[in-house]
Amino acid sequence: MGFSTKTKLLLDMIKFEHTIFALPFAYLGMVLGADGLPRFATFVWITCAMVGARTYAMALNRLFDLDIDKKNPRTSSWALSQGLVSVKETVVFAICALMLFSVSVYMLPSLCHRLWPVVLVPMTFYSLAKRFTWACHLLLGICLGLAPLGAWVATTNTLPPAGISTLGLAVLFWTTGFDIIYSCQDYNFDKREHLYSVPVRFGIQKALLITKACHVLAVFFLVLLGMSFSLGTIYYLGVLLIAVFLWYENRIVTPDDLSRVNVSFFTLNGFVSIFMFIFAFISINFNL
């Protein structure tokens, strides 16, 4: 099997395209920190740090979950489960991603050199959380919620103020909510294997209610972000659009019908992150 084929399998294994969930929010933190367009080098190294950190975390996730993924019908066909890529190759892949993150942090301002464990530690331990606590979704939310805060630090070389923290909280609750929805499809398997999740702990019906509450909080904190930075009408139209996306995301998944979980998880959440960045970027750069 050639290098390009192996690389494609590794990227598919970690769902590389899902980097789009967090990257636009990191860019939003960057744009807010720069009060407009940042330096090109800042943009490049923030992008590399984000890609490196997420790739490292997801490769580690696949390694830690290998025994589980082999037994789960939903994941048993994945590349590592099938032996299409080896454990050794996945370890090397994770190390390369970690090196990319480390080099990127080094190229960013000095405060990043001291704060990088704040990002990497929760990403490292997220994969183990479902073995111990149903709050594992919240830990994933923290991982993604740190993205805009980290981008602010990388842009300004200062600690995040309260205003940008509202963006981190919005991403935290948005992520927690959609991860709960995604975990509903593994409800029977997780229960049988004694794994922890909100659906296993509270049942699917209550889990979906918790998701709705998380997404209401996400919209609330997006509104607070707009108020904190005195963003204009275009930004709030974006928040309204995101609220519609989240409403629809919650509407199409019910306890009796989980068939559209993938539409909810993959498609709509991609729209949420991309459109939120676009509307905010226009508002920040054109004072609209």
| Confidence (pLDDT) at 17 | 66
Q: Each residue of 50-89: b (16+ CB within 10 Å) or e?
A: bbbbbbbbbbbbbbbbeebbeebeebeebbbbeebbeeeb
pLDDT, tens only, 60-85: 999 998 899 889 888 888 888 888 88
pLDDT, tens only, 132-173: 999 999 999 999 999 999 999 999 999 999 999 999 999 999
pLDDT tens digits for range 14-37: 676 666 777 899 999 999 999 888
Would you say residue 265 has pLDDT above 70? no
Over range 240-264, report the average pLDDT.
83
Does residue 270 have a pLDDT over 70? Answer: yes
Claim: this prediction has a pTM higher than 0.85 = yes
Return the minimum-mean-pLDDT range out of 97-106, 118-127, 181-190, 259-268. Answer: 259-268
Give the pLDDT of residue 263. 62
Q: How many domains does the chain have?
A: 1
**Mean pLDDT of all residues in 204-215:** 95
Task: Give the count of beta carbons closer than 10 Å to the beta carbon of residue 240.
Answer: 14
Under 8 Å between Cβ of 125 and 139: yes
pLDDT tops 90 at residue 210: yes
Q: How big is the chain, counted in residues?
A: 288
How is residue 120 written in tokens?
Answer: 């990497």
CA dihedral of residues 150, 151, 153, 159 (deg, nearest 10)? -60
Structure confidence at residue 126 (pLDDT): 87
Residue 254 dihedral angles phi and psi, to the nearest 5°: -130, 165
What is the rounded average pLDDT of the residues 92-98?
92
Range of the domain at 198: 3-286
CATH number at residue 251: 1.10.357.140
**CB–CB of 53/99 below 8 Å?**
no
Contact between 101 and 53 (Cβ < 8 Å): yes
3-state helix, strand, coil in the chain (%, to 5): 80, 0, 20
Tens-digit pLDDT profile for residues 182-209: 899 889 998 998 999 999 999 999 999 9
